[in-house]
Structure 1
Amino acid sequence: MIFRTLFFIFVLVPFLVVVIPLQALILLLRLPFWPVLPRLFHRLGCVFLGLRVQVIGAASTGRPTLLVSNHISWTDIVAIGSVADVTFVAKREVGEWPFVGMMANLQRTIYADRGRRSATGRTARAMGRHMASGNAVLLFAEGQSDIGTHVLPFRSALIGAAQHAMIDAGARDVVIQPVTVAYTRLQGLPVSRNERSLIAWIKSKSVGQNIAEILSGPVKDVTVAFGTPMPLSESDNRKAVSKAAEIQVRAMLVALNRGGKLPVQAPLPGND
């Protein structure tokens, strides 16, 4: 805890003092290298939070990409953001949180209002415009966080809406890529089922309690595994596409939790 306190005071705070106005300027000028500083911020965040990130595979690049992932904790964002240049889709309330909302805005986060079905189209259009520019958007497709032992059914509504919004925005060469986040070890030892509650953000815990447990807890090994990108066309059935991605994510999570190795994923042609 002493290390994290010193790191926060002497590294993270000075970094934020410089980077926050600089990133705001980069976004204002619409400069293409806007993801560079957020990725560096997430890497420092991993050190501060005690996250050791292992990457399997790679995020699809150079084409409009919708990444769909399981969701365990708010630290998933830090882990994924440290290894991939993505824009996250978050619930609307995140944008209203002090400091967190500001940092989310600086990473061009897209907000979804889960309480209003009419807002789905607006969120999808924002996702489509962002991806049509060749960027990647990550959606936590379960719609909520879970304990990390299994994957909840993926919600296909936003995936389907984004699918059509991408086409409408001019994105033709579109892929959907499954992503799995797995917390495998605490202080070098395999995570037990009971210990997963020290990581996961579950409904029975307040935000403050979860943050306190993360900050005071041991070093956490987390694996971010990128699955096989799948071409996504306007005519594809959104439920079938969502199910195929869900199956990939579930298989990867089971293998990682059991300490197994994932098969080597073959990239799409032209995905460097």
Structure 2
Amino acid sequence: MALRLAFLALIVLPFTLVGLPVQFVLVKLCLPGWQLLPSIFFKLLALGLGLRVSLAGQPLAKGPVLLVANHIGWLDIVAVASKFPVSFVAKSDVAHWPVIGTLAGLHKTIFVNRTRRTDTRRTAGEMSTRIAQDVPVLLFAEGTSGIGTHVLPFRSALMGAIKDGAKIQPLAIAYTKISGLPLSRPERRQVAWIGDMGIGDNLGAILKSGPKDVVLAFGAPLPATDDRKRNAKWAETEVRAMLNALNRADPLPKDGEVV
């Protein structure tokens, strides 16, 4: 833990302090290259937190794409962003968190107020605009985080962000090992953000735990249909099949195969 804290303090923090003003200018002026500094930041942060991220399944789709994933905790964001320049959809509360809210805003995170139904249309419109710019958008469709053993029903409200020509690609996020050994159910609390757990407790558990293997498994992308509920159900089925296989250390299911 001491080495990780030293790395975060001596490498990640200085990079953040130097990069924040530059990133602020890039985002405010809508200049190209705004994804570069966040990509470096998340790679460093993943290293400092002991994440070992590997990829499985299909490649990330080219062109307009909405990634639809399960959600285990804020480590998911670090894992994905360390590999791909994506825009995330997050609850509006995150925007007001100290430091994290600022970082999320400078990463062009799309915030949604889930307590206001009228905010769904605005959020879907912002997602659609970002997708049309060929920036992959990642939606944690469960609407909450889980322990990582199963997938909760996917919500379909924001699936309306998909327009003609765009694709939906399922993404399963699985934490498979700590210190090279398969995770037991109690150990999942060292990576998952569950219930009323505070961010301080969650961060402490992450820093104290050994190297954490996380797999990002992509399913085959499909063109979206006009039925957002059908889109959500299809993505949920695909993500559940891949997560089940990863948790059991089985081969990933073939396209359309349910396990």
Q: Report the TM-score when normalising by structure 2.
A: 0.94
Q: What is the one-letter code of the residue matched to 2:222? A: M
Q: Structure 1 residue 211: deviation in Å?
A: 1.5
Deviations 1:116-140 (A, max 9, x none): 1111111111111111112111000
Find the counterpart in structure 2 of residue 18 from structure 1.
18
After superposition, residues 126-145 of structure 1 pair within 5 angstroms as 126-145=126-145
Separation in 2, partners of 1:204, 1:211: 14
Separation in 2, partners of 1:113, 1:175: 25
- Structure 2: 5+ residue stretches without partners: none
Partner SS state of residue 217, structure 2: strand
Q: What is the one-letter code of the residue matched to 1:3? A: L
After superposition, residues 245-264 of structure 1 pair within 5 angstroms as 245-263=235-253
After superposition, residues 194-205 of structure 1 pair within 5 angstroms as 194-205=186-197
Q: Structure 1 residue 238: deviation in Å?
A: 1.1
Q: Structure 1 residue 231: deviation in Å?
A: 0.6
* 1:222 and 2:214 are equivalent in the alignment: yes
After superposition, residues 174-193 of structure 1 pair within 5 angstroms as 174-193=166-185
Structure 1 outlier segments of 4+, above 2 Å: none
Partner SS state of residue 138, structure 1: strand
After superposition, residues 71-82 of structure 1 pair within 5 angstroms as 71-82=71-82
Cα RMSD for the two superposed structures: 1.5
The question of whether the paired residues in 1 share the 8 Å contact of 2:173 and 2:214 is answered with: yes
Deviations 1:183-210 (A, max 9, x none): 0001100001121122111114222211
Find the counterpart in structure 1 of residue 228 from structure 2.
238
Q: Structure 1 residue 58: deviation in Å?
A: 2.4
Identity fraction in percent: 48
- Structure 1: 5+ residue stretches without partners: 266-272
Q: Structure 1 residue 28: deviation in Å?
A: 2.4
Separation in 1, partners of 2:196, 2:126: 32
Partner SS state of residue 34, structure 2: coil
Q: Structure 1 residue 263: deviation in Å?
A: 5.0
Q: What is the one-letter code of the residue matched to 1:250? A: R
Separation in 2, partners of 1:213, 1:58: 32
What is the total number of aligned residue pairs between the two structures? 255
Q: Pick which of 10-19 and 101-110 moved more.
A: 10-19
